[in-house]
Structure 1
Amino acid sequence: MGKLTDLLQLAQERAQAASLPYAGSLTPAEAHQVWQLAPGARLVDVRTRAELDWVGRIPDAVEIEWNQYPGGVPNPHFLTQLKRQVDPEALVMFICRSGVRSDHAARSAMEAGYNACYNVLEGFEGDKDAHDQRNHLGGWRHTGLPWFQS
């Protein structure tokens, strides 16, 4: 088996173990590798515009808010925006701050007909540490994967 196949199989095993309705769950490092190895794969960042502006962005990620800022209300146009920017046949990985909103986005996309949806565990900022702060335990940024601040 190839590296891509191994990564996706591991992600699918995690999803099955957790009874998730989407294809799988990937760590940030695994998601980055899949993104590099799978032609046409897309990374969809579902954080708010404020998070993207103030915390950082992932180069070449598709940016579609799951919740709108300000107010945190659900984005009623999420699926329309997703369909406009991402082919339903593509392998799609969703990322947010910590992995919660991206889980919801992956579930919603699966229900809308996307077949290869994956959640990026830990998200962009990772879990909170003992001091209730993020960016010290896991996450895309802490792992040292590509990102920039605008």
Structure 2
Amino acid sequence: MPRPARMDEALPANQNSGLGRGRQDADGACLLQVQPAQAYAGNVSPELACQWWQAGQAVLIDVRSDAEREWVGFVPGAVALAWKQWPGMDMNPQFDEALKAVVPTGGKAVMLCRSGVRSIAAAKRATELGLEAYNILEGFEGDPDAEARRGTRGGWRFRGLPWRQN
């Protein structure tokens, strides 16, 4: 599938979440708004998360494993703080303390993972720790396409937001 020429031609990821065509949700609401969630502050589009982060209004926390960031790509300036570590995907025992050290009191965190699943768990945990935490919908790579490949149906990278690869 060729990369869309315009942002509003992009296919949405997380189709089960009710996101609609263009960059609006199923009710036609702009995706530059927070979508409600249970047990954490809400879900945000990659674009809104990037706006907050670049404006200094939120700390961008990349909860993917070190291996994922190394092999697939990373966001320069994001805090690399794995929720689970590869291989074995064991919980990161330093997650809580490290998160509290990088998100200032009263600040907010936006959580990024591969597809927007682990970041929900991380946002819930951050909320339990007293932080204002959001999940970034679509994650870094988005949902898999018909050939089970990621990166063609949404995500931080697909949306043209800042990232690099080693």
TM class, shorter-length: 0.7 to 0.9
| 1:97 corresponding residue in structure 2 | 114
**Structure 1: which 4+ aligned runs deviate by more than 3 Å?**
none
For normalisation by structure 1, the TM-score amounts to 0.85
- Unpaired runs of 5+ in structure 1? 1-6
Counterpart contact for 1:28–1:121, Cα < 8 Å: yes
TM-score of the two chains, using structure 2 as the length reference: 0.77
Structure that is richer in helix per residue: 1
Note the alpha carbon deviations across 1:78-114, whole angstroms, 9 max, x for none. 1011112222321110000000000000000000111
Residue 111 in structure 1 maps to residue 134 in structure 2:
no
Identify unmatched segments of 5+ residues in structure 2. Answer: 1-29
Q: Provide the aligned C-alpha RMSD in A.
A: 1.9
SS in 2 for 1:43: strand
Amino acid at match of 2:60: L
Q: How many percent of aligned residue pairs carry the same amino acid?
A: 47
Deviation, structure 1 residue 8: 9.7
Q: How many residues align?
A: 138
- Alignment pair present for 1:128 and 2:151: no
1:29 to 47, 51, 63: 47
Report the 3-state secondary structure (helix = DSSP H, G, I; strand = E; otherwise coil) of the residue aligned with 1:129: coil
Q: Are the aligned partners of 2:32 and 2:47 in contact in 1 as well (CA < 8 Å)?
A: no
The 1:111–1:8 alpha-carbon spacing in structure 2 relative to 1, beyond 3 Å, is: farther
Question: Quick one: which of 62, 72, 83 aligns to 1:66?
Answer: 83
